[in-house]
């Protein structure tokens, strides 16, 4: 007997126009799904990389002790809620904490930071800025500050304690460039003069519009802080494991520790909601393509009633007849998914070259995309599922046709 696959191919190519319409629905559905997921995840990945590169994957700050259980320290209770605590500003003995934490396998490097809010002035412009007092060598190892510089030289900052690095949007606001003077207002009302050694762009608006880096000892004197560090930022080998390490650090050091997932939870939820919304919307295109395939196969069953009856009389079983129409759906799903993945890759590449100008939450001049194999797998699985559901009912109907009655000319 002729294999069902060969018969399915003959049935499918008999109506070329219907085949092309069904195939195009799957192709464009898969392609648009891949392209939109690449875009939404691209912006999310850019934000994650930027915030980890600027603020670390994990941060330790604010020493604490339990409010009512002075002899027992617990990071979190069994139900995940934070215990009642008394918090104290600053890090106690940051050098010892860094020495111990470096022994953890997931820790690449760490850097102490003295943080404070001051007023900045350059010419006739004023701004409230977030001052970060850092150790230049340690901070360069822990963050992406070296890659974020768009003007100036990091060595000029490292070798000159009276110099600072300012964010790119802050530089625009203050109309200050490399070599210009910026004054920072100390709590006692005295202005300290600094030279701009470099300008950094993290890619996140809230950082670029407020961040100023200075040497830690200078920041300590300017802010009149007795503590040498307000927090410690960490670079991790596996940032996804930051929450578990944060819990261990809290229990070990009795300081509040927050992972980047906890710190940016609201923004991450926004990106996740956007991805899910886009995925659901685009999935409707593939669903509509499934309805088209259902109609095509149903009409094929009605048009091939006598052929089906002849096949049954020749010895083809019900399962053979059903497999003929399931094979038609499988061929459409396979060809549509393959062409859709190719078109999706092409669309993703094209979108990544479309110029845009974003200067809000993120800084970018082009659409941001992510090349992830999982987008192609999910799109293919979605197409296969939709086509299988659309093919099942017509295939079952064709298998149940009575051959003798059909040959006598009876209708379905």
pLDDT band at residue 78 under the 50/70/90 scheme: very low
Query: Which of 246-251's residues contact partners 24+ apart within 8 Å by CB, and which partners?
Result: 246/58, 247/75, 247/76, 248/75, 248/104, 249/58, 249/60, 249/101, 250/75, 250/76, 251/73, 251/74, 251/75
If we measure between CA atoms, which residue out of 191, 205, 165 comes closest to residue 47? 205
Q: Which of 112, 40, 108 is nearest to 276 (CA)?
A: 40
Percent helix / strand / coil, the chain, rounded to 5: 55, 20, 25
Query: At 88, is the pLDDT very low, low, confident or very high (cuts 50, 70, 90)?
Result: low
pLDDT value at position 306? 65
Give the per-residue pLDDT at 410: 46
Q: How far apart are CA 91 and CA 40, in angstroms?
A: 38
Contact 9, 322 (CB under 8 A): no
What ranges in 231-317 are assigned the alpha helix state H? 242-253, 260-263, 265-303, 305-313
Which pLDDT band holds residue 330 (cuts at 50, 70, 90)?
confident
pLDDT at 21: 76
Angle at the Cα of 42 from the Cα atoms of 39 and 45, rounded to 5 degrees = 155
Which of 39, 15, 35 is closest to 27 using CA atoms? Answer: 35
Q: How far is CA 198 from the centre of its chain?
A: 29
**CA-based angle 344:348:350, to the nearest 5?**
115
pLDDT at position 14: 66
Q: Whole-angstrom Cα distance, residue 293 to residue 12?
A: 11
Query: What pLDDT was estimated at residue 22?
Result: 75
Per-residue pLDDT, 70: 47
Distance, CA of 233 to CA of 113 (rounded, Å): 7
- Which residues fall within 8 angstroms of residue 65, CB to CB, at 6 or more apart? 73, 85, 86, 88, 254
Q: pLDDT tens digits for 304-313?
A: 666 666 666 6
State how far Cα 236 lies from the chain centre: 18
CA distance 214 to 194: 9
Average confidence score pLDDT of the chain: 82
- Range 280-283 contact pairs with CB under 8 angstroms and sequence separation of 24 or more: 282/29, 282/32, 282/33, 282/36, 283/29, 283/33, 283/382
Query: Residue 322: its pLDDT value, please?
Result: 74
Give the model confidence (pLDDT) of 283-298 as tens digits: 777 777 777 777 776 7
């Amino acid at each position: 007997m002729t294999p069902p696959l060969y018969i399915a191919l003959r049935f499918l190519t008999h109506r070329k126009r219907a085949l092309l319409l069904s195939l195009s629905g799957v192709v464009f559905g898969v392609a648009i799904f891949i392209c939109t997921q690449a875009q939404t995840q691209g912006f999310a990945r850019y934000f994650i990389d930027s915030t980890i590169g600027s603020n670390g994957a994990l941060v330790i700050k604010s020493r604490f002790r339990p409010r009512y259980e002075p002899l027992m320290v617990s990071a979190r209770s069994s139900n995940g809620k934070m215990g009642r605590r008394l918090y104290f500003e600053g890090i106690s003995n940051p050098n010892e904490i860094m020495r111990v934490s470096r022994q953890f396998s997931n820790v690449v490097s760490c850097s102490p930071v003295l943080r404070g809010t001051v007023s900045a002035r350059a010419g006739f412009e004023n701004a409230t800025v977030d001052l970060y007092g850092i150790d230049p060598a340690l901070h360069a190892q822990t963050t992406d500050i070296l890659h974020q510089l768009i003007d100036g030289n990091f060595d000029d900052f490292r070798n000159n304690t009276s110099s600072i690095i300012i964010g790119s949007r802050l530089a625009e606001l203050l109309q200050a460039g490399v070599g210009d003077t910026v004054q920072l207002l100390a709590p006692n009302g005295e202005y300290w003069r600094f030279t701009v050694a470099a300008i950094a762009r993290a890619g996140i608006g809230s950082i670029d519009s407020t961040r100023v880096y200075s040497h830690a000892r200078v920041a300590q004197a300017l802010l009149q802080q007795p503590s040498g560090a307000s927090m410690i930022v960490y670079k991790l080998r596996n940032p996804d494991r930051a929450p578990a390490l944060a819990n261990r650090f809290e229990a070990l050091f009795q300081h509040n520790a927050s992972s980047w997932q906890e710190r940016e939870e609201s923004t991450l939820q926004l990106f996740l909601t956007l991805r899910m919304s886009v995925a659901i919307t685009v999935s409707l295109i593939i669903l509509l393509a499934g309805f088209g395939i259902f109609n095509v196969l149903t009409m094929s069953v009605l048009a091939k009633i006598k052929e089906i009856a002849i096949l049954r009389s020749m010895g083809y079983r019900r399962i053979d007849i059903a497999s003929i129409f399931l094979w038609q759906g499988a061929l459409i799903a396979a060809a549509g998914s393959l062409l859709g993945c190719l078109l999706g890759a092409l669309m993703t590449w094209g979108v990544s070259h479309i110029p845009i100008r974003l200067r809000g939450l993120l800084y970018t001049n082009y659409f941001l995309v992510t090349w992830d194999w999982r987008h192609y797998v999910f799109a293919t699985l979605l197409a296969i599922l939709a086509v299988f559901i659309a093919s099942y009912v017509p295939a079952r109907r064709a298998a149940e046709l009575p051959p003798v009655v059909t040959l006598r000319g009876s209708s379905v």
